[in-house]
A and B are shown apart, each in its own frame.
Chain A
Amino acid sequence: MEPAIRMQPGKDRQVLVCRGTGCESQKANIIYSNLEKELDKMGLSGSVEVKFTGCHGFCQQGPTVMVMPAGTFYCNVNPDDAAEIVEMDLVKGQPVERLLFLDPKTKDRVLNFRDMKYFNPQRRIVLRNCGFINPEDIDDYLATGGYDGIKKALGMTQQEVIDEMKRSGLRGRGGGGFPTGMKWEFANRSVADQKYIICNADEGDPGAFMDRAVLEGDPNSVLEGMMVGGYAIGATKAYVYVRAEYPMAYERTLIAIGQARERGFLGKGIFGSNFDFDIKVKLGAGAFVCGEETALMASIEGRRGMPNPRPPFPAIKGLFGKPTNINNVETFANIPVIMTKGGDWFASVGTEKSKGTKVFALAGKINYSGLVEIPMGTPLRQIIEDIGGGIPNKRKFKAAQTGGPSGGCIPFSHFDVPMDYENLTQLGAIMGSGGLIVTDENTCMVDMAKFFLSFTQKESCGKCVPCRLGTKKMLEIVTAVSKGEATLQDIDQLVELAEDVKAGSLCGLGQTAPNPALSTVRYFRDEYEAHILRKECPARVCVRLLKFEVNEENCKKCGACLPACPAEAITWKKKEVARIDKEKCIACRSCILACRYHAID
C-alpha cells in the first residue's frame, strides 16, 4: 500500500507534514517550518528530513504529521507542538501520546497509521502516493516508479495500449462510467492533423474533493496518465482544465509540468521515442456546467461555457474542431499503475462490471470526513461505520447522498449495498465523481432536494428550455413543499416534470438535475407528505413549519437550549421546562440543534 519514499542521502527518518488545502488552512506551513527549526536546534538536521506532502485523506483530524518509516501518526497538530514532537519522538524515541489518534470506541491511542481503522480497509491505487511524496518534487515521484508506465507504453503499439486499457475494465471516474479503453479507441480511429487530450479537473460537485487532492498530492501521476492517453490516441497537445476555486491544485500542476519539461519528459521526442507531447493548464472561471465535456471545450476556446449537442462527439470533432479525448483526474491517475502492473491485475480488484477502486470524499454528518479509497463493491455500511467512524452525537444514519447535484440518496434500507456503478444507478443514486455526503435524522430530505435544485437552477446555462425552465419550476414546487404550501398533486407534478427534464435536456447538467428530487420522493415520500398534510418538518429544518415552542412532555429540563440561543429568547430555571419568547425568537434553530430530546417543535 505504501510507495517507495525517497529519502535524502545520509538521513534515516522523515517527518511528513500534510500540506493539502485542509491542513494548510490550519497552519500546516508553520508546523513545517517549526519542525525544521526544532530539528536544527536539536542537531538532528543531518539525520531527519522534514518533507511536505499532499493530502493523507484524514482531513477531519488535520493538520496531520507522520514520522516515517515508523508510521507514527499525529493528529490535530498545532504549530507549538513541533518542539515536543522533535524532543520526544525524534530525540528520545517516545511518541507524543496526546497527539496520537484516539480510537473513540476502545479509547486507546493508536500509534501507527497502519493500525488505524480509517486507513486499514482502504486500498489505495489512485491515492497511492498522496501523503507520502513531495508533490513539488518530480524526483519523489520517480522514486516510486513514476513515469515507468509511459516508458512501457511507448514500447507498445497504440492498439496494444488501448487493449491493455480495455482489459483493465477501467471506467470514467468523472461520473459517466464510460469504459476508458473504448473512449480512447474512438479517438484513435479519428483521422486528423491534430488531436487533443484534456484532463477534466473542473470538480464541480459541491462536496467532492478527490480530484483536488490528487492534483495537490501527486500531480505527476495525472500528467503521466495523460501522456499514455496522448500516445494511445495520437494526440500531441493536452490541457488540464482546473477549477478556479482550487489555486493550490493549479500551482502544483504548473510546477509538475515545469519540472517534467526540464527533464525532457514533455516536449519533442519524449523518453527517446518519436512521440511529441506537451501539456498546458487552463484555469476555469467559476461555472459548474464547464464540467460537461462540450462546455469545457468551449471554455478553453475562450467562449461562454455552453454545451453543444452530440453528435458530433468530441472524439470526432472536439476542441478547436479536432478529435479530442477528455478524461477525469482520477481516471488518469489510475493509468500509470495499469500500465506497469497490467490490465489483468487492475481487473482483479473490484466487482464484475466495476473494476478497480473508487475514491470517495466522505463529508457531512460523519465522524471522520476525508478521502477514502476502497475497492469497488465495498458495502456502504463499512465505509460509514468502520472507516468513517459512524455518525456523531449518537444520532441515526438517515441516508447517504452520492453524485451531488446529479445524484440521489441511498436510504438506511440499502445500507449494505455494495458500492459500484450498477448498484448505485439501480438505486437512483449515481456514482458521480465520488462525493459521499452523510445525513442523519436532523437532515430534511425536502430541504436537501431544495438545496440541490437551487444549485442546478442557478448553474443552468440557459441554452436549452427543459433545463432552464424545468429546474426553476421544480425548485418552485419543492420550495412550496418546504413552506407547507403545496398539495399532494404537486408531488406527482414534480415527478412528471422531472422525467421530462431528464429526457429533454441538452447536456448532463439538465439530464441529471432532477435526480435529487426524484430520489428523495422515491425514498422519503413520507417526509414530503408530512410537510404537505401535517404542515410539519420531521427533521425540524424547514423554518416556515417550525413553531419554536417547547414540548413540555419531551423536555428533560436540562437547559442545553439556554446558552445556545443568540437572541436571549429562552428562559429556563433548574428543574423547570424551558420557555421561548416568540417576540424575541429569530428562528435561527440554534435551540433545536442543541436539544437532544426533540423537545422543541
Chain B
Amino acid sequence: MKDNLQEIFSRHHGTRDALIPILQDIQAEFGYLPPEAMDAAGKFCRISPVEVYGVATFYAQFKFDPVGRNSIMVCQGTACHVMGGARILEEVMNQLEIKPGQTTKDARFTLETVACIGACALAPAMFVNKETHGRMKPEKIAEILNGAGN
C-alpha cells in the first residue's frame, strides 16, 4: 500500500485543496478509503485525521468498506422516478438481498443508488460497472445480474 500511496502523493501538492483529489485517487486505487490511507493523506496535506474523516464522510462518493467485484447503481433521479425507478431498485434489492450501500456476502455485488447520471432519456436506468442499461424493466434484471462478472 505504501508504494501506491507514494505514487498518488507524487501527483499532488501537499496542500489542503489537494485533499479531495487525493482521496478520490485513493478510492480509485483501492475501491474504498482504507483508514491508514486516510491518515497518510492527512499527514501529506498537513490536516488532522479527524478533519480528513470529516471531509470524507461529507461526500456521498467516498466508501469506507471494501466493495464487491461488480458495482450496481440504480438511478433514482426525477425522470427515473417518474418512469418507475423505485420498482427497479426494489427488484434489484430483492434479487441480491441487500440494501443500497451494502455488498453481497460473496462480495460479487455492491449496490448503490445515484441521484441522476443525466441519462434521463433512457429512464429508468441502471448501471453495472460502467455499462448503462436503459429503459429498464423488472423482468430484465435477473439476466443483467447473471451477465455480470463473477
Contacts and interface: CB of A to CB of B under 8 A. Distances in A.
Contacts of B139: 566
A202 to B, nearest CB: 12
Contacts of A206: 76-79, 115-116
Interface in A438-472: 439, 443, 451-452, 455, 459, 461
Contacts of B17: 300-302, 320
A59 B119 CA distance: 9
B55 interface: yes
Contacts of A286: 59-62
Interface string A59-87: 11010000000000000000000000000
B122 A59 contact: yes
Interface in A291-342: 299-306, 320
Nearest to B122: A22
A304 B54 contact: yes
Given A304-B58, A363-B78, A285 B117 contact: no
Nearest to B130: A247
Nearest to A283: B24
A445 to B, nearest CB: 12
A383 to B, nearest CB: 15
B139 to A, nearest CB: 7
Given A303-B55, A304-B54, A305-B58, A369 B18 contact: no
Interface in B82-110: 82-84, 87, 90
Interface residues of B, number: 43
Contacts of A301: 16-17
Nearest to A285: B59
A13 interface: no
B69 interface: no
A287 B62 CA distance: 11
A439 B59 contact: no
Contacts of A593: 84
A369 B121 contact: yes
Interface string A579-601: 00000000011100100000000
A401 interface: yes
Contacts of A303: 16, 55
Contacts of B16: 301-303
A282 interface: yes
Interface in A22-65: 22, 25-26, 59-60, 62
Interface in A256-309: 282-288, 299-306
A231 interface: no
B136 interface: no
Contacts of B66: none
A361 B123 CA distance: 13
Given A283-B21, A288-B115, A588-B138, A60 B59 contact: no
Contacts of A62: 121
The 7 A-B pairs with the shortest beta carbon distances in the complex, nearest first, are: A25-B132, A59-B121, A206-B77, A206-B116, A209-B118, A207-B78, A285-B59
16 contacts: A21-B119, A59-B122, A60-B121, A206-B78, A206-B115, A208-B118, A246-B118, A301-B16, A302-B18, A302-B55, A304-B55, A363-B82, A365-B83, A369-B123, A566-B139, A590-B138
Given A205-B78, A363-B78, 14 more contacts: A21-B117, A21-B119, A59-B121, A206-B77, A208-B116, A282-B21, A283-B20, A285-B23, A285-B62, A299-B20, A304-B54, A364-B78, A437-B82, A566-B139
